């Protein structure tokens, strides 16, 4: 078994710089998940949180009788928010919960999916869920030696309950188009729901 996490952390550091804080969370029956915090030097008001540990094992198809220990999609999660507008450092545990969900619930986290933690992402947050966006923009995929799948770094976009409900009916592309049309600042930790009528 190859330990992919040192390579994953190296990729995060090369894309986002040195983390200025990290925390580890372990859930019963799962591997340890770390969450690293990065301050964006170019955009001083943006803070990024990235998981480290979700990609240690491939995500298994929930319908498969036996999980393949080698093949299968691998991913880490990245959340970007504007700093200083809310106590977003409390997002560490909810992020670790989402990162552990493939092991705990047997789900495959992929672009277009909704992930819900059932509580505000941080104190007073108007969001309890996130939309998983397409990878490759902020942090490039990390290619691993065959037969291992590459590690994808999936951006998370916080959704209000109304947006999450609307997305279930109309789909992720329609919600993203709505955000774009209205110039929604998806990094604003206290933003209101986009107009959905």
pLDDT digits 0-9 by tens, 143-176 = 999 888 999 999 999 999 999 999 999 999 999 9
Note the pTM of the prediction, 2 decimals: 0.93
State pLDDT tens for residues 84-139: 888 999 999 999 999 998 888 888 899 999 999 999 999 999 999 999 999 988 89
Look at residues 128, 94, 88, 136 and name the one whose alpha carbon lies nearest to residue 111.
136
Which two structure tokens, joined as six digits, stand for 136? 């490759």
State pLDDT tens for residues 130-141: 999 999 888 999
């Amino acid at each position: 078994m190859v330990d992919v996490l040192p390579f994953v952390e190296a990729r995060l550091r090369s894309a986002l710089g040195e983390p200025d804080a990290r925390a580890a969370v372990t859930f019963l029956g799962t591997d340890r998940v770390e969450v690293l915090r990065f301050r964006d030097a170019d955009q001083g008001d943006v803070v990024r949180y990235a998981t480290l540990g979700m990609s240690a094992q491939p995500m298994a198809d929930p319908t498969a009788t036996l999980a393949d220990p080698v093949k299968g999609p691998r991913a880490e999660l990245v959340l970007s928010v504007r700093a200083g507008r809310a106590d977003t450092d409390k997002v560490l545990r909810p992020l670790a919960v989402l990162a552990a969900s493939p092991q705990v619930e047997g789900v495959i986290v992929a672009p277009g999916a909704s992930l819900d933690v059932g509580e505000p992402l941080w104190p007073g947050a108007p969001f309890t869920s996130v939309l998983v966006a397409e990878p490759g923009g902020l942090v490039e995929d990390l290619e691993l030696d065959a037969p291992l799948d590459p590690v994808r770094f999936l951006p998370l976009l916080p959704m209000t309950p109304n947006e999450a409900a609307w997305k279930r009916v109309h789909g992720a592309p329609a919600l993203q188009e709505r955000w774009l049309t209205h110039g929604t600042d998806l990094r604003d930790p206290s933003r209101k729901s986009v107009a959905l009528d």
